[in-house]
Amino acid sequence: MSPNALSWLALLLAAFSAFILYASYWSWVLLLPLASVLVLVSGFFDALDGRVARITGKASRSGDFVDHVLDRYADVLMIGAVAVSPWCNPYLGIVALTGVLLTSYMGTQAQAVGAGRLYSGLLGRADRVVLLLLVPIVQWILLLLGGGWIDLGFASLSIFELMMLWFAVVGNLTAVQRAVTVWRRIR
């Protein structure tokens, strides 16, 4: 299988997991664990595409470009599905998605201005995939135990909302961190 085919397969699985994440609110017993499995398999194929490209000698700038573009679509699909689902306040979802996209943008913008590609920071793609894998399972366990929401006194948040709060705060901090790093490199 070609590296680009693996990238497209990862995106297809991400789209399916996005649909399952969104629908899981209404049938959580079955769909939350299924969402985690789909995120895991999608992440596996996403990690595999680059490795296959290097091993087979097919690594190229165009393949790297396709991988990064499809990764952003996967992010938008999966995180966006949570953002507009009943699991999450949509305003929090918008800020989370902004943080995630700006983190990735700052990494590629660094490369565009000649400062080298940046993957550093508090919230990278692998971190997001791991959280998207674990959070449905934690939400599922809490619901099985009769809970599902964390009472903070001033608000009650689902585990998904805690994840999105993390993406919102830490994603935007990572974007700023990367912007400062790039600024220092290019001055």
CATH code at 60?
A: 1.20.120.1760
* Residue 36: per-residue pLDDT: 97
* Residue 59: per-residue pLDDT: 87
Residue range(s) defining the domain that contains residue 108: 3-186
* Residue 138: per-residue pLDDT: 96
Half-sphere exposure of 31 (CA within 13 A, CB side): 13
Q: Is 57 exposed, middle or buried (0-12, 13-18, 19+ CB in 10 A)?
A: exposed
Q: How far apart are CA 104 and CA 1, in angstroms?
A: 27
**Under DSSP, is residue 151 helix (H, G, I), strand (E, B) or coil?**
strand
Give pLDDT tens digits along the chain (187 positions). Answer: 889 999 999 999 999 999 999 999 999 999 999 999 999 999 999 999 889 999 999 988 898 899 989 999 999 999 999 999 999 999 999 999 999 999 999 988 888 898 888 787 888 888 999 999 999 999 999 999 998 898 888 889 999 999 999 999 999 999 999 999 999 988 8
Domain count, the chain: 1
Name residue 150's beta-bridge partners: 157
**Computed over its alpha carbons, how large is the radius of gyration of the chain?**
17
* Residue 120: per-residue pLDDT: 79
Q: What is the DSSP letter of 145?
A: T
* Residue 64: per-residue pLDDT: 87
Q: How far apart are CA 100 and CA 106, in angstroms?
A: 10
* Residue 121: per-residue pLDDT: 80
* Structural tokens at position 12: 């297809």
Q: How far apart are CA 121 and CA 92, in angstroms?
A: 21
DSSP states along 66-92: HHHHHHHHHHHHHHHHHHTSTTS-HHH
* Residue 166: per-residue pLDDT: 96
pTM comes to 0.90
